[in-house]
Structure 1
Amino acid sequence: MASIKSVTREIFIVGLVLFFSTTACVHAQSKGEKWTDLFDGKTLKGWKTAGGKAPYTVENGVIVGTMVKGTPNSFLLTERDYGDFILELEVKLEGTETNSGVQTRSHINEKGQVYGRQVEIDPTARSWSGGIYDESRRLWLYPVDLNEKAKTAYKVEDYNHIRIEAIGDETKTWLNGVPVTYLIDTLDPKGFIALQVHGIPDYLAGKKVYFKNIRIQTQDLKPRSFPEDVYIVNLKPNHLSRAEKKAGYELLFNGKNADGWRSVRSSDFPDKGWEINNGQISVLKSDGAESTNGGDIVTKKQYKTFDFSFEFKLSPGANSGVKYFVTLQEQTSGSAIGLEYQILDDQLHPDAKEGLDGNRTLASLYDLITANKTTRGLKPIGSWNRGRIVVSADGQVTHYLNGFKVLSYIRGSKEYKDLVALSKYKNWERFGEAEEGHILLQDHGDHVSFRNIKIKELN
């Protein structure tokens, strides 16, 4: 016969289980969430394979993908397409050199390749899990360099919880509850969902990736709140989303006229040398020299600390630049003076070989600091590239190219002053250290277009 103490203990435990079970049910019902399992825990019913030959099996209620040498990226994809949805799942990768991802609203091209937006699962040192990559198409859309606070969220050799909201033109991701990416993109309003086993070098053969607890909502979607300080990549030209407006961003070019801009030579916009057409503001080709045609243009307003982003498109062999902290007080016969985010065709323009150690190449701080670029961070000449410059109150300045962080420095620091002393700016007193200044688009005599120019003033 059980003792009174043991019976009492059992009743207490049963009571706790009932309490927490009831609480969980009430919590789920109060949210009104209607989840559907995409994986039944036993079979791959509702899924099919595409791409490479890596096998997918079911083991102990988990989908297991095994990495195979000599095969390209392999995918297990849903047999049906999805439009708007909220998807949650758990993923674990073996090792720290492997890779995986979750395809959203994706498709298969005429070559049999899976393409579309992929939520990255990345255990490597760069820590880009939760970022968004466009598989077999546009490549990186949201590297996690844009949200460095999220880089510590991934758990190595453990299950990681991923939440993906794809609602309308917006995709948001969370990793283990940490907000990671916010992307606005008009391509692919619907498509399949897929689980990836990445192609590998031979020595990683046999490594596994595990997927479980895969569930989806497609009705009565209630998006989760997202922090205002996480940068939004908005691929809609000259557009501010409601979230961007709430966060304090404003357009510096509305896609229609030159409101907010003027010539460096007068209070008016240049009457030649610049063109506004098709939602773009373009400096026209002349003689390839600095400021000899329409001349540089600057914002009418001056800025102190800011998050400034823009898209630019180079013609072959072109040279231009975006300058900041431009005071217009310096006397110069060429372009106005200021810190410059270099815009250049590195392959065809000779300036790429000038300066020191490449400090006049694309996205560099011109003649001072070389951009640390990779080829994967570059879009071809004639395509739109995305630049970003962030200036914080402590003097730190960061350049980004297509979401990749390419350099950072502190204005006015000893290291900065030492670089200026070796540069073409050595004779300008306190170069680049003004408290505030205009933002400038450069006329260097080559055809270069800009759009999606926006700014947020920082405290």
Structure 2
Amino acid sequence: MKQLSARLFFIIILLLINLTIFQVNAQTKQNEWSSIFNGKDLKGWKQLNGNAQYKVENGEIIGISETNTPNSFLCSETKYDNFILEFDVLLDPTLNSGVQFRSNSLKDYNNGRVHGYQFELDPSDRAFSGGIYDEARRGWMYPLSINQKARKAFKNGVWNRCRIEAIGNHIRTWINGIQCANLIDSETATGFIALQVHSIGSKNEDAGKEIRWKNIRIKTNNLDEELWPSDPEVREISYLKNSLTKNEINKGWRLLWDGKTNKGWKGAKIDQFPNSGWEIKDGELTILATDGGESTGPGDIITINTFSSFELELEFKITEGANSGIKYFVDSELNKGPGSAIGCEFQILDDENHPDAKAGVNGNRTVGSLYDLIAAENLSVHGRSKQFKGINSWNKARIVVKGSKVEHWLNNEKVIEYNRHSQMFIALVAYSKYKKWSDFGQWASGHILLQDHGNTVHYRSIKIREFN
């Protein structure tokens, strides 16, 4: 009996020790989170750029909109690189706002304007809250047009719980437990966190409206144990230059251009890569300007291989007044005379300064269009214009072909969809410049082409995956 009591006593002691260790670990884990707002005043923060008012009431930071002042930012004095940030936000449903992270204000960049990643707060019908915008730099990096489920995560008129995970080049966001963004980007590794009051211009009716933040906390170490699992339905968008993520490799992506050599490419009308006119430098594949004519310089280049069902993605940057194109289902044997090789074309164009934008029919020669056949328009978000980031900026093009169905995407928003075997497509071809080419667009497979149209255009991060 005494032996049994001793054993029971020993078991109880072990349980108490384990419970104590568990409580200590739990407390330590909790203590690894730190508040970056003390709930009383704005100590540890500084205001930059605009003059909107910030104040503290009831443990909340309140930003108040003001007329005739630029975007205002209340910035943390501490800079952060890898972290998990959580906060609650409540904003007037007529205001746009955001939370900056890995952001900076530098004298030699736009006269000190705050720039960097922004967790979007968008109570409008566009509903892009939780998307990632690159403030004062590259614009939309992860619009929620590619994540329809997340567009319903933010609720107007109530507090919303938000989360940002920024570890290395991987950035993910959540609102109320729903994943919004899944971004891979290496542009900026460190910077401050800032609470934005957006400019309202001279709109007096929008003055004095409030945005409220509370429960702002951050974790900067032992992050792996706190990471949330990704929703497999949330598309990963990568801006890595001429390289693939592990996820892309697992999904069958491969580089179509290696970023260094002309391997896998040749001239459209010659058996080798052009000796001059196409430049490979600093991870960019560039067609250099000549006379502005169609293939009157070094000529188009095509892939050595042909493709049927595939997803192609790349980035392009055009100069002022430039014209080029990405062609697919190219038959390089069709046109041996002057001009470009024949295939379906994702138009690359400076719509503002090139006359071709006003040629054709109803804009079917503008950027993103199926050249001379179907005009590009935003099919992802009703009423939103197509999102071209402008000349001398990198834009992302994506072409998806699954059998007869084809899509064009410009900066992660769909601008074209068609069935290349449909009667409608055949009728469009019959009234276009392609009518003299028998079965245009109907071929089972073809080359992918980058066009020489006599203007300087840069390409990079060219990747593809094929479908069975």
- Tell me the TM-score normalized by structure 1: 0.84
1:105–1:191 CA contact under 8 A, matched in 2? yes
**Structure 1 residues 318 and 456: CA distance shift in structure 2, 3 A:** same
Counterpart of 2:274 in structure 1 is 270
Deviation, 1:325, is 2.1
1:370 to 360, 371, 375: 375
* 1:200-240 deviation line (CA, Å, top 9, x unaligned): 23322232222222211100112433356644443332122
Distance (Å, rounded) in 2 between the aligned partners of 1:172 and 1:346: 34
Distance (Å, rounded) in 2 between the aligned partners of 1:414 and 1:66: 56
Counterpart of 1:12 in structure 2 is none
1:298 to 288, 297, 302: 302
Counterpart of 1:220 in structure 2 is 222
Of 147-156 and 125-134, more deviation after overlay is shown by: 147-156
Q: Is residue 433 of structure 2 the alignment partner of residue 424 of structure 1?
A: yes
Q: Is residue 49 of structure 2 the alignment partner of residue 51 of structure 1?
A: yes
2:376–2:386 CA contact under 8 A, matched in 1? no
2:376–2:416 CA contact under 8 A, matched in 1? yes
**Structure 1 residues 185 and 207: CA distance shift in structure 2, 3 A:** same
Give, as a single letter, the amino acid of the residue that structure 2 aligns with 1:88.
E
Distance (Å, rounded) in 2 between the aligned partners of 1:415 and 1:215: 56
Counterpart of 1:104 in structure 2 is 101
1:286 to 286, 290, 300: 290
Give, as a single letter, the amino acid of the residue that structure 2 aligns with 1:439.
I
Distance (Å, rounded) in 1 between the aligned partners of 2:446 and 2:149: 29
**Structure 1 residues 287 and 50: CA distance shift in structure 2, 3 A:** closer
1:282–1:447 CA contact under 8 A, matched in 2? yes
2:458 to 430, 433, 449: 449
Distance (Å, rounded) in 2 between the aligned partners of 1:31 and 1:191: 26
* 1:113-163 deviation line (CA, Å, top 9, x unaligned): 322211111111222212222222332222223434432322222322221
CA RMSD of aligned residues (A): 2.9
Q: Is residue 448 of structure 2 the alignment partner of residue 439 of structure 1?
A: yes
Structural mapping, 1:69-84, within 5 Å? 69-84=67-82
Distance (Å, rounded) in 1 between the aligned partners of 2:28 and 2:53: 37
1:64–1:209 CA contact under 8 A, matched in 2? yes
Distance (Å, rounded) in 2 between the aligned partners of 1:36 and 1:273: 56
Give, as a single letter, the amino acid of the residue that structure 2 aligns with 1:225.
P
1:306–1:391 CA contact under 8 A, matched in 2? yes
Distance (Å, rounded) in 2 between the aligned partners of 1:215 and 1:323: 49
Distance (Å, rounded) in 2 between the aligned partners of 1:31 and 1:132: 32
| Gaps in structure 2 of 5+ consecutive residues | 1-18, 379-383
Distance (Å, rounded) in 2 between the aligned partners of 1:175 and 1:43: 26
2:377–2:386 CA contact under 8 A, matched in 1? no
Q: Is residue 124 of structure 2 the alignment partner of residue 121 of structure 1?
A: no
Counterpart of 2:9 in structure 1 is none
1:341–1:399 CA contact under 8 A, matched in 2? no
Counterpart of 2:344 in structure 1 is 339
Give, as a single letter, the amino acid of the residue that structure 2 aligns with 1:420.
V
1:326–1:336 CA contact under 8 A, matched in 2? yes
Counterpart of 2:135 in structure 1 is 135
Same amino acid, percent of matched pairs? 48
Distance (Å, rounded) in 2 between the aligned partners of 1:417 and 1:30: 68
**Structure 1 residues 327 and 32: CA distance shift in structure 2, 3 A:** farther
| Gaps in structure 1 of 5+ consecutive residues | 1-21
2:242–2:460 CA contact under 8 A, matched in 1? yes
Distance (Å, rounded) in 2 between the aligned partners of 1:41 and 1:397: 50
